[in-house]
Amino acid sequence: MKRALLILIVFLCLFLFLSDGRLRSEAQSSDPTASGPFTVMREEYDFGDTAFTPTGFPSAVELRGSVHYPTNSTGGPLPFILFLHGRHAVCFQGTMGGAFTWPCPAPQLPIPSYTGYDYIAQTIASNGYIVVSISANGINAFDNMTADLGAIARAELVQEHLDLWNAFNTVGGAPFGSKFIGKIDMQRVGLMGHSRGGEGVVRNFLLNQSLGSPYGIKAVFALAPVDFSRFVINNVALAVLLPYCDGDVSDLQGVHFYDDARYNVAGDAAPKHTMLVLGANHNFYNTIWTPSIFPAAAGDDWTGMLRDSDPHCGTVPGNGRLTDALQRATGLAYIAAFLRVYVGGESQFLSLLTAAAPPPPSAGSDKIYVSYHAPDNPLLRRDVNRLLDATNLVTSTIGGAVTPSGLVPYDVCGGPAPQTSPCLAQIDQRQPHTTPSLLSPAPGLSQLITGWNAATGSLIHDIPVGQRNVSGYEALLFRASVNFDDARNVAGAAQDFRVLLTDGAGSTASVRVSDLSRALFYPPGAVSSVPKVVLNTVRLPLLAFAGVNFTDIRSIEFRFDQVAQGALLITDIAFASGPTGAVFPPLFTICLKDDSSRAELLFNFATGDYIFCCGDRIFTGKGVVRRQGTTVTLVANEITRRINAKVELSARRGTASLQSPPGMTICTIIDRNIADNICSCGQ
Amino acid sequence: MPGKLVSQGKNQEPVGELELKTYLLEELQLARPVRAEIAGQSREVNRGWRLTVIGGPFTVRAMPAMIWIAGKLAGYGVESTDLQKISVVIFDRSLLQEGAVIALSYGERDPLRTELPERLTLNPAR
């Protein structure tokens, strides 16, 4: 009986251990695509087709855009997001494309590419952001005549719009009058650019920096971007979305933005991310470039006589392509998550960006592979091996011995000479990390190219003295891709191996990569620019390595014993954690202000962060927010205080009470019109 | 800028993924000299050649059109207003070789690079 009881207890303990959410590499996350509680208004502004001339540009261009903003958010000032579309046809008439010139000759009309991201703007704005999308047709019509293919012109156009919105925020002006005065936080700015617009927003970050950073650009999202000039940005959160079936920027050169920035600046406090989306093309992130939605000059960039036959990206039955609606869902999920995390401080979506959580169901696909490069902060990242040159084949970045066994080849490739580049005997479009740049000789990504002929291969990194306490990190991370050009990998089959950590007492714990990561998938496709090697993050939570002393880790071993043979490309081996602290200053999207006293309560409806000003006292913390329709409640039950608040957004009124200690009410708020609030609590 | 016709092809059947038809080569006399890089050296020139690839209508893309002559990059193309021509101005006369293959691509080693069915002719009388 006792034995049976003991077995039951052991079984229960094992069950609880294995079901611990921290053990799974893919924790659950919040849904960034969910609409927020705020009512959103969309308006346009237009200063004419020739209102602005970028420096040295061969033509004047338009100053035109749209704004989505919450009408009933009383917090703030609110963060500011700006979208910039990419290169596309510029004029249309009826269902036909029109002249490729600017301004459009009558009766033709400008193609409204800038409205193609309204589906993203609407969602983000409903969560308490001001979202602007700007038109760049004039630049599209003439940018091939410029030396940088329009990068600085786009950057200047973005800066001009930022200046405009700074004016709307400070002194007001037509067409919005005083509507936005004091409503915008121009120190919390996020940019998203698509295609050439992706390089444009990267270039704008550098331009804004060169002007003394008048605007606080906190995050830059490059969507299927070009990277002609290899601009590198640091100390700003960066994300690059790479559509696997991109038929335009088919070499996915935008991955260089991530690769180039990783170790470029010592102490770089900013995280970097990529998202590889299988089945996605270049155009369908913009509704105006999508033929099922807009009739003129739209199309599937992948299609063509040859490409149609591709089993993944083509049009054959059973292919891996996403519908345009599903593709937009992937963009919405990751653009919203990234901007809300790094501009709005809504850290509840962070796990989506660090490979710690799978795509949310609303993303429309689970074939989205994320890479994450942690800030260069010793508390958040300890590089084990950057694999930047041949010395890292013998000695790691932290000075430990690196010992291969049974690995052929065992070399670095893709980086600066004397490394071989590209790594594979394949066309550039299949090797994004090393694809050449049109306007820069910068080298590609240095990476380990290796493989094993029998299930006895291994790669051991010794951890030297002084580097062995890794207990403060969440996970062991590295980037890897299956080398489809090596016949040792079975076509269509995922790869796998084990990772072992050994501590100073000789205890070893191992995990199988496939139990915790999907990154070792076999790249699909067979035609034109696919398959591709894109290195994605394998994230192995340290808690999965049960039984070793994380304060004294002596070695990391990759043991290739799960598949008889195989070949991989690997880089960026590090212990790391998700960004924390100052990266996420709380954002308050709702404010209640008592009609007669000075009492104020500000809170974020998504995160529950609050600040309550009661007389001369200030209370901060995190409560629980619930939403029912347009009614939002905040409850904070803490040892020292209790807060209850209720806001009716549609009726624009609310109430709140603060008890400190619990049971003793020291402040109440009755706010009969939240729309007229000017809140200063905490400022 | 108007140019003096040097040669032009005659094919009207679209070929390849990019549906190319033919080409047009014009000589340009510049109003004033400009500096251009020729064979890696900066030189002052007062004339150039405009090579126009005809076909399409071409899709406006993020990747710039690249025009190739005998496998050498002639330059990045600029689309015409009707999107049926893509032109590049050449200052290096040595690129213009009788019988050279003309091709168009989007990106340097674009697998969809398409060659024109006609070779470059510098002396139409031949």
This model of the complex carries an ipTM of 0.93
Same domain for A436 and A394?
yes
> Which amino acid is located at A62 in the chain?
E
How far, in Å, CA of A676 to CA of A671, rounded? Answer: 10
Same domain for A317 and A284?
yes
Could you say which of A140, A306, A438 has the minimum Cβ distance to residue B17?
A: A306
Residue A98 near residue A91, CB atoms below 8 Å: yes
Contact: B78, A88; criterion CB under 8 Å: no
Contact: B60, A144; criterion CB under 8 Å: no
Within 8 A of A441 by CB-CB distance, chain B residues are none
Same domain for A50 and A162?
yes
Within 8 A of A145 by CB-CB distance, chain B residues are 78
CATH number at residue A600: 2.40.128.20
Q: What angle do CA A52, A53, A58 make, to 5 degrees?
A: 145
Same domain for A577 and A594?
no
Q: Which residue of B has its CA nearest to A199?
A: B62
Q: Do the domain assignments include residue A12?
A: no
In angstroms, what is the C-alpha Rg of chain A? Answer: 26
Same domain for A596 and A577?
no
Give which of B17, B60, B66 to mutate to test A binding, by max A Cβ within 10 Å: B60
- Note the pLDDT of residue A584: 61
Same domain for A329 and A393?
no
- Residue A218 parent element (H or E): strand A217-223
A390: which residues sit within 8 A by CB, 6+ positions away? A411, A412, A419
- Note the pLDDT of residue B69: 96
Structure token pair of residue A592:
């209640």
Domain that holds residue A620: 588-676
Structure token pair of residue A544:
């999965």
Q: Is B117 on the interface with A (CB under 8 A)?
A: no
Domain boundary at A546, A565, A581, which?
Answer: A581
Residue A20 has pLDDT above 50, yes or no: no
Q: Which residue of A has its CA nearest to B112?
A: A528
- Listing DSSP states for A258-282 in one string gives HHHHTTTSTT----EEEEEETT--S
Q: Which of residues 11-40 of B touch A (CB under 8 A)?
A: 17
Q: Do the domain assignments include residue A661?
A: yes
The count of structural domains within chain A is 3
At residue A583 the predicted structure's pLDDT band, cuts being 50, 70 and 90, is low
**Strand ordering across the sheet containing B20-38:** B4-8, B20-38, B41-55, B85-90, B78-79
Residue A29 has pLDDT above 80, yes or no: no
Within 8 A of A436 by CB-CB distance, chain B residues are 108
Same domain for A318 and A386?
no
- Note the pLDDT of residue A585: 66
**How high does pLDDT run on average in chain A?**
93
Provide the whole-model pTM: 0.90
Contact: A249, B81; criterion CB under 8 Å: no
Same domain for A109 and A177?
yes
Q: Do the domain assignments include residue A211?
A: yes
Contact: A87, B80; criterion CB under 8 Å: no
At residue A4 the predicted structure's pLDDT band, cuts being 50, 70 and 90, is low
Residue A104 near residue A119, CB atoms below 8 Å: no
Same domain for A367 and A386?
no
Same domain for A553 and A640?
no
Q: Do the domain assignments include residue A26?
A: no
CATH number at residue A53: 3.40.50.1820
Length of chain A equals 683
Give the minimum alpha-carbon distance from B106 to chain A in angstroms, rounded to a whole number: 8
Residue A143 near residue A56, CB atoms below 8 Å: no
Q: Which residue of A has its CA nearest to B79?
A: A100
Q: Which residue of A has its CA nearest to B78?
A: A144
CATH number at residue A401: 2.60.120.260
Domain boundary at A342, A373, A404, which?
Answer: A373
- Note the pLDDT of residue A23: 37
Same domain for A399 and A368?
no
Could you say which of B57, B61, B82 has the minimum Cβ distance to residue A87?
A: B61
**Cis peptide upstream of residue A436 (ω within 30 degrees of 0):** no
Residue A239 near residue A579, CB atoms below 8 Å: no
Same domain for A512 and A635?
no
Crossing angle, helix A118-125 and helix A324-342, to 10 degrees? 40
Give the minimum alpha-carbon distance from B29 to chain A in angstroms, rounded to a whole number: 19
Residue A39 near residue A649, CB atoms below 8 Å: yes
Q: Do the domain assignments include residue A20?
A: no
Domain boundary at A340, A373, A406, which?
Answer: A373
How far, in Å, CA of A220 to CA of A510, rounded? Answer: 37
Say what percent of chain A tops pLDDT 70: 95
Contact: A100, B80; criterion CB under 8 Å: yes
CA dihedral A427, A429, A432, A433 (to 10 degrees): 20
Q: Do the domain assignments include residue A9?
A: no
Give the minimum alpha-carbon distance from B68 to chain A in angstroms, rounded to a whole number: 14
CA dihedral A263, A268, A270, A274 (to 10 degrees): -10
Could you say which of B77, B79, B107 has the minimum Cβ distance to residue A100?
A: B79
At residue A19 the predicted structure's pLDDT band, cuts being 50, 70 and 90, is very low
At residue A604 the predicted structure's pLDDT band, cuts being 50, 70 and 90, is confident
Q: Which residue of A has its CA nearest to B84?
A: A100
| Mean pLDDT confidence for A21-46 | 77
| Mean pLDDT confidence for A485-496 | 98
Q: Do the domain assignments include residue A386?
A: yes
